[in-house]
Amino acid sequence: MSLERAPHIPVLLGPVIEALSPASGALFIDATFGAGGYSTAMLEAGAKRVLAFDRDPSAVEAARPLCQRFANRLIVINAPFSRMEEFARIEETPQGQPPVEGPFADGVVLDLGVSSMQLDQADRGFSFQTDGPLDMRMSQAGDHAGRSAAHLVNTLAAETLADILYTYGEEKKSRWIANAIVKRRAERPFERTLDLASLIARVLGPRKADGRHQATRSFQALRIAVNDELGELARGLAAAERLLKPGGRLAVVTFHSLEDRLVKRFLAARAGKQAGGSRHLPEVQAIARPSFQIVNQRPLSADEQECADNPRARSSKLRVGVRTEAPPWPPDTDLEVPQVEF
């Protein structure tokens, strides 16, 4: 591996590559390119080609040297992975031919959340440790009508803000925080990450025994809202289902329980197992054949060594499914994605 200078250490790299088995297929999709750790490893392990996506233009810009190194074998597209099917079909269609139909991918991998580069750049506004503009937009542009975290914090009603903090951050004190935000912004709007983080810390009091910063949950919630991360995930999983050939592998690395629950439910439902919480699932399951087989019933986690080497790995979970011969399920199959309207 030639990742010594990569700014982002790929999480669960060995198990992900083993799950995808790149040498046994031709085309793999890396839906979350980041610093290209997975793409590089897949290509080095024998994948003929990798089609990669990242919604962050700076990740795509930084991919140029890798694209040169793997000339014609690596293509990196600046788009959200919810749209990977559309872009992948265009990319796979020879010039002048009608768009390719049916599945053609041997593997799809999603490594969710933000990269170390995004977290470390204070001016992206993801961090409550270093001061920066309260932004959090991964694409720095069009996410959720382009609304930044500051826009949400300074304009939404207290009730909606509290719903966001509770639903996307599982923050139990969401109402206290939302009310304090609304009171404070009447005097002076929030513009900086540390300003918001210190208000949340004041509302919640001293840190808990786990040592995590008091703003951890709220920042997670705002980031998910700004980037519509759960909606993206649901659409990305359905796109992967349509793109994967029979026998193709889906590998998803998650970093918090909301993401993991969604992936778990998706795979359980598609594997024909009752995944609780979905209104229409029994009706769909009655007519649709299982489109995935689950590889590991329990998700894989990073071992002690990896967690010691890379603290980001601590909360990671890997779930893997193998695509069956069955057709993809209807696109509107209800996944019960937690959503706050705003």
Ligand X SMILES: C[S@@+](CC[C@H](N)C(=O)[O-])C[C@H]1O[C@@H](n2cnc3c(N)ncnc32)[C@H](O)[C@@H]1O
Minimal CA–CA distance to 220: which of 174, 165, 179, 302? 165
State in angstroms the smallest separation of the CB of 137 from ligand X: 10
State in angstroms the smallest separation of the CB of 258 from ligand X: 14
State in angstroms the smallest separation of the CB of 170 from ligand X: 20
For residue 335, the 8-state DSSP code is -
Contacts of 14 (CB under 8 A, 6+ apart): none
* Whole-number Å distance between alpha carbons of 37 and 115: 11
Query: Site residues for ligand X, window 55-114 (CB under 6 A)?
Result: 55-56, 59, 80-81, 111, 113-114
* Whole-number Å distance between alpha carbons of 221 and 208: 19
Residue from 53, 126, 219, 329 that binds ligand X (CB under 6 A)?
53
State in angstroms the smallest separation of the CB of 117 from ligand X: 7
Residue from 19, 20, 27, 38 that binds ligand X (CB under 6 A)?
38
Q: For the chain, where are the alpha helices, taking DSSP H only?
A: 13-20, 37-44, 57-62, 64-69, 84-92, 116-120, 149-155, 158-169, 174-187, 193-204, 216-227, 229-243, 257-270, 281-287, 304-309
Q: Does 317 sit near ligand X (CB under 6 A)? A: no
Q: Which residue number, 56 or 174, has a Cβ lying nearer to ligand X?
A: 56
* Total site size for ligand X, rule CB under 6 A: 21
Q: Which residue number, 138 or 181, has a Cβ lying nearer to ligand X?
A: 138
Q: 95: exposed, middle or buried (C-beta count within 10 Å: 0-12, 13-18, 19+)? A: exposed
Q: Which window, 51-59, 166-174, 195-203, 285-293, contacts ligand X (CB under 6 A)?
A: 51-59
State in angstroms the smallest separation of the CB of 33 from ligand X: 6
Q: Which residue number, 78 or 293, has a Cβ lying nearer to ligand X?
A: 78
Q: Does 235 sit near ligand X (CB under 6 A)? A: no
Q: Which window, 35-43, 244-252, 256-264, 317-325, contacts ligand X (CB under 6 A)?
A: 35-43
Per DSSP, the three-state class of 214 is coil
Q: 180-210 in b/e burial notation, b at 16+ Cβ within 10 A?
A: bbbebbeeeebeebbbbbebbbebbeeeeee
**Contacts to ligand X by CB under 6 A:** 8, 10, 32, 34-38, 53-56, 59, 80-81, 111, 113-115, 138, 232
